[in-house]
Amino acid sequence: MKRVSVELVPRTVESLREELNILRSHRAKIDIINVPDLLRYDTRSWQGAAVAKEYFPAAMPHIRAMDIDLDAPLPMKNFLVEHDLHEVLVIEGDPPQDMSRETYPTVSTDVIRKFREEMPGVKVYAGIDQYRGSMRHELVRVKRKLQAGASGFFTQPFYDMRYLDMYADMLDGMEVYWGLSPVMSPRSQSYWERKNNVVFPHNFAPTLEWSIAFSRQVMEFADKKGQSIYLMPIKTNLADYLSGVLA
């Protein structure tokens, strides 16, 4: 397998360090830590990524496109340089709940180009949402991001190998991190169905055992293809899930 990335949410610096300490027992099998940028928390993604680099050789902050003013320099530019952060994942971002917070009509392709111009030494990844529409329309978005300067892609979580195989064929030759995230309850399953339009296969079960087994199946697929994996252990026991997946 090329690389294994694990996403950790920076709720606080202290909680992030606790989770990074849990991951230490799997350090030999984890290549990079992804840090999302969630506005309900005080710690920004690049700040969390700097903390993660104290524990792992690489960390990747998520950059919300709608937070970027195209008429001003990248606000995290100096921080990324100072903390030796060479990779970012650019996403569109959700509108803030606090409507007093300023956002901009900036899309991910704008920010990818801005990084290429201002920080050419930073490797820029983009997102793929395989549930937001047709495969044809998503491929158009992928091509636009490639033209803007994206080097690779991170997908939303997959739950069906047949669907993943279709995307793997469509994205052949591209650098892709295949997303995996455990779903641990019927309520969580309903959330993914309603909010993200996920269609779960008939054999799906919202259990740790099913999630571990499917994750290992996708990891075997990625290993044969020389591709990468993106683990998003949301609302699950971090130690139990990773012990099962990375054993």
Q: What is the CATH number of the domain that holds 32?
A: 3.20.20.220
Q: Which residues of the chain have pLDDT under 50?
A: none
Question: Is 182 inside a domain boundary?
Answer: no
pLDDT of residue 95: 82
Say how far apart CA 142 and CA 67 lie, in whole Å: 21
pLDDT of residue 172: 96
User: Nearest CA to 170 among 141, 197, 211, 132?
Assistant: 141
Question: Is 246 inside a domain boundary?
Answer: no
Say how far apart CA 53 and CA 117 lie, in whole Å: 25
pLDDT of residue 212: 97
Say how far apart CA 50 and CA 59 lie, in whole Å: 7
In 98-109, which positions are buried (b, 16+ CB within 10 angstroms) versus exposed (e)? eeeeebeebbbb
Question: Is 220 inside a domain boundary?
Answer: no
Question: Is 145 inside a domain boundary?
Answer: yes
Question: Is 236 inside a domain boundary?
Answer: no
Kindly report the pTM of this predicted structure: 0.96
Cα-based distances in Å from 1 to 41, 105, 127, 223: 33, 38, 20, 4
Query: In the chain, how many domains are there?
Result: 1
Q: Are strands 228-231 and 176-180 parallel, antiparallel or unpaired?
A: parallel
Structural domain range at position 13: 4-177
Say how far apart CA 67 and CA 44 lie, in whole Å: 12
223 token code pair: 């290993």
Say how far apart CA 64 and CA 45 lie, in whole Å: 10
